A and B are shown apart, each in its own frame.
Chain A
Amino acid sequence: MSALLKVEAATIQYETADAVIVAVWRVSFEVERGERLMILGRSGCGKSTLLKAIGGYLIPVEGSIALDGAAVTRPGPDRMIVWQDTDQLLPWKTVRQNVLYPMQLSGVPRAEAQARADQFIAMVGLARAAEQYPHQLSGGMKMRVAVARGLAMRPAVLLMDEPFAALDALTRENMQHELLRLQQETGSTIVFVTHDVHEAALLGTRVIVLSPFPGQIKANLDVARFASREELVRTVDAVVHDDDDDKKDAAA
C-alpha cells in the first residue's frame, strides 16, 4: 500500500510586500495511515508554510504534494486544520453547530452528522457545553471544539499548526494526552507542527526536523526506534545544534 500523503521535492514560496521568500526547499517525506507526524523546527524554518501547502493554501513551485495519489490543489475538508488561534470557531454558532457545520457543507447526511457531532463533542468532554457560544468558553475548551470539529469530519489527515502553543502549561499537558487518546481511539492520521521538542517526542510516531533559510529536512526520525523519549530529545537537540554550528561556519 502506498503512503497516504506524499511530499516530493517540494519547494514552497510566498510573497511579501517586497520579496519572494523561499520558505521550504526541496522537501520530501511520506506519511502513512494512522501515523502522527511531527514537523519540528524553530520559528522561521518554514514548518507552518509546509503545513499550509499540505492544506492547499500554497501550491509548490517545484515538486509535488499528493494525498491518496491526487495532487493537492486547494483547501478542502479532507484535510481539516486545527489552528493555533483560539478564535478559529465561528462565533455566531454554538459548539454543536460549529462541529456540525463542515459536515453539513460537505453533504454528510443530517442524522449521521448529528450523531458524529454529539459523539466527538462527548469525546472531548464538552457535552455539557454543546449549546454554548464560543465566547462563553475558555481557550482550552475552544481548542477542544476545534479538535472535535476536525476529527468529526473524518479527514484523510488532520493538520495541526502549533495548536497548543497559546494555552497555559497545565491545559497544554491535558490537551496533549487527550489528543493521543483521541487519535488512538479514532486511528486518525495527524500532521502536527510544533517548535517544542518535548511535545514532538510525546506525541509523534515520526519526527521531522526542519532547519531554516531555506526550510530543509535535517532529520526524519522513527520514534519507535528510540529506546526512550529522552534519547529522542537528545538526538533532536544534537541535530539542531549541528545545524547551528554549520550555519555559524558558513557565516564565518
Chain B
Amino acid sequence: MSEPVHFVIEDVPTPKDLSTVRAIPPLLRLWRLAAVRRAVVVLAVLLIWEVAARWTDKPLLLPSVLDTLAALEAALTAPDDNLWGYIAESLKALSAGFAIGTALAGLLTIFAVNTRIGEDFLSTITSAFAPLPAIAIFPLALMWLGISNASIVFITTWATVFPVAIAMFQGFRGVSETLRAVGRNFGLRGLGHTARILIPAALPSIMTGLRNGLSNAFRALIALEMVIGAAAGSGGLGWFVLAQKQNLEIPSVFAGIIAIMGIGLAFEGVFALIERRTVRRWGMLR
C-alpha cells in the first residue's frame, strides 16, 4: 500500500483581465430582443406593400399603407357606426360560443377520463369531425336556427368544443402515475382530486387547447359573419369587411382585415401572458 498523495497548489495566478466580462455592443444587444426583430419584419412587410401599391397605382385593388392607416383611424374614431361597435359585436358572439364550447368540452373530457365508453365517444367524434371546417355546418345551422345569433353561437361553440376537448383529454391522460398517487396519498378523491391535481398538472395542454379552440372559433366567426351579415345586413367584423368592399371603400376593407389580425394577436398576447405567469413560471412549459 502506498501512501495517499496530498498536495497543495500555492500561488495560483489570478487573471487580471477576464476576457469573459467584455461588453456586448449595444446594437447587437438590441438585435437580440425578439420584439425588435419582429418590429423590423413588420416594417419590411409594410414597406414592400407601400412600394407595390405605388408601383401598381390601382388604389381600388391595392390601397397604399398610409391610406389604409388613415381609413383605420377614421373607422375607429367615427362618432357613430364605428369599428368598435363591430368589434364588440364579434367579441360578444365569440365569447358566448367559446364559453359554451369550453364548458361542453369540460363535460366531454370528464366523461372520457372516467369511462371507457366516454373515451371511445370522444376519440371517435373528434377524429370524425376534425377535418370538417366549422363553417361547413352552416347550412345545417341555417336550417335549424335560421339567420340569427343562435346560428352564430352554435357554430362558434362547435368550432371550440373539439380542439379544447381533445387537448384537455390528452393533458389529463398525460398526468404521471406518481402525481395521481401523491394526490390520493393526501386523501384527495373524485372531483377534489380532479380540481387540485389533474387540472393544474394538465394545465399546459389545457392552455394549448383553449388557444386552439379560441382561434378556431374566431376564424369560423369571421367567415360566418360575412355569410350571415350579407343576409341580415348587420353583424361584426366579418360583415364590416364585406360591407366596405360592397361600398368600394377599399382602404377600409384593408383596415378591417388589419383589425381582425390585431384581435387575433391580442388573444395570443393574453395567452402568452397567462402562460408566462403559470406553466412557464412553474417549469411545466419551456
Residues of A within 8 A of B179 (CB): 87-88, 90
Residues of B within 8 A of A101 (CB): 186
Take A83-B178, A87-B178, A88-B178 as given contacts and tell me if A76 and B185 are in contact as well, using a CB distance cutoff of 8 Å: yes
- In the bound complex, do residue B282 and residue A88 qualify as a contact, i.e. CB atoms below 8 Å apart? no
- In the bound complex, do residue A106 and residue B187 qualify as a contact, i.e. CB atoms below 8 Å apart? yes
- Specify the chain B residue showing the minimal Cβ separation from A106: B187
Closest beta carbon of chain B to A245's beta carbon, Å:
36
- In the bound complex, do residue B203 and residue A92 qualify as a contact, i.e. CB atoms below 8 Å apart? yes
- In the bound complex, do residue A133 and residue B281 qualify as a contact, i.e. CB atoms below 8 Å apart? yes
Is there a chain B Cβ closer than 8 Å to A55's Cβ? yes
- Specify the chain B residue showing the minimal Cβ separation from A80: B185
Q: Looking at the complex, which one of B182, B187, B278 makes contact with A90 (CB distance below 8 Å)?
A: B182
- In the bound complex, do residue B186 and residue A77 qualify as a contact, i.e. CB atoms below 8 Å apart? yes
Is there a chain A Cβ closer than 8 Å to B284's Cβ? yes
Q: Looking at the complex, which one of A77, A88, A92, A105 makes contact with B278 (CB distance below 8 Å)?
A: A92
- In the bound complex, do residue B283 and residue A81 qualify as a contact, i.e. CB atoms below 8 Å apart? no
Q: Looking at the complex, which one of B178, B185, B200, B281 makes contact with A75 (CB distance below 8 Å)?
A: B185
Is there a chain B Cβ closer than 8 Å to A136's Cβ? yes
Within 8 A of A (CB), among B178-203: 178-179, 181-182, 184-189, 196-197, 200-201, 203
Residues of A within 8 A of B278 (CB): 92
Is there a chain B Cβ closer than 8 Å to A134's Cβ? yes
Residues of B within 8 A of A55 (CB): 185
- In the bound complex, do residue A92 and residue B284 qualify as a contact, i.e. CB atoms below 8 Å apart? yes
Closest beta carbon of chain A to B186's beta carbon, Å:
5
- In the bound complex, do residue A85 and residue B283 qualify as a contact, i.e. CB atoms below 8 Å apart? no
Residues of A within 8 A of B115 (CB): none
Q: Interface residues of B toward A: which range?
A: 20 to 34
Q: Interface residues of A toward B: which range?
A: 20 to 34
- Specify the chain A residue showing the minimal Cβ separation from B188: A105
Take A76-B187, A92-B200, A102-B186 as given contacts and tell me if A81 and B282 are in contact as well, using a CB distance cutoff of 8 Å: no
- In the bound complex, do residue A135 and residue B178 qualify as a contact, i.e. CB atoms below 8 Å apart? no
Closest beta carbon of chain B to A48's beta carbon, Å:
12
User: Could you tell me the distance between the alpha carbons of A55 and B188 in the complex, rounded to whole angstroms?
Assistant: 14
Is there a chain A Cβ closer than 8 Å to B127's Cβ? no
Residues of A within 8 A of B282 (CB): 91-92, 133, 135
- In the bound complex, do residue A134 and residue B200 qualify as a contact, i.e. CB atoms below 8 Å apart? no
- In the bound complex, do residue A91 and residue B185 qualify as a contact, i.e. CB atoms below 8 Å apart? no
Residues of B within 8 A of A105 (CB): 186-188, 196
Is there a chain A Cβ closer than 8 Å to B176's Cβ? yes
Closest beta carbon of chain A to B228's beta carbon, Å:
42
Closest beta carbon of chain A to B114's beta carbon, Å:
18
User: Could you tell me the distance between the alpha carbons of A77 and B281 in the complex, rounded to whole angstroms?
Assistant: 28
- Specify the chain A residue showing the minimal Cβ separation from B203: A92
User: Could you tell me the distance between the alpha carbons of A57 and B183 in the complex, rounded to whole angstroms?
Assistant: 12
Residues of B within 8 A of A75 (CB): 181, 184-185, 187
Name, among A57, A80, A102, A136, the residue most crowded by chain B CB atoms within 10 Å (CB to CB): A102
- Specify the chain A residue showing the minimal Cβ separation from B278: A92
- Specify the chain A residue showing the minimal Cβ separation from B184: A75
Q: Looking at the complex, which one of A81, A85, A87, A133 makes contact with B185 (CB distance below 8 Å)?
A: A81
Closest beta carbon of chain A to B154's beta carbon, Å:
35
- In the bound complex, do residue B187 and residue A134 qualify as a contact, i.e. CB atoms below 8 Å apart? no
- Specify the chain B residue showing the minimal Cβ separation from A75: B184
Closest beta carbon of chain B to A235's beta carbon, Å:
30
Residues of A within 8 A of B187 (CB): 75-77, 102, 105-106
How would residues 49 to 73 of chain A score, 1 for a CB under 8 Å from any chain B CB and 0 otherwise?
0000001010000000000000000
How would residues 114 to 148 of chain A score, 1 for a CB under 8 Å from any chain B CB and 0 otherwise?
00000000000000000001111000000000000
3 nearest interchain CB pairs? A135-B283, A75-B184, A85-B178
22 pairs, CB–CB < 8 Å, chain A vs chain B: A75-B185, A75-B187, A76-B187, A77-B186, A81-B181, A81-B182, A83-B178, A83-B181, A87-B178, A87-B179, A88-B179, A90-B179, A91-B201, A92-B200, A92-B284, A102-B187, A105-B188, A106-B186, A133-B282, A133-B283, A134-B283, A135-B282
Q: Apart from A74-B184, A106-B186, what are 5 other A-B pairs with CB-CB below 8 Å?
A: A80-B185, A88-B178, A90-B182, A92-B200, A133-B283
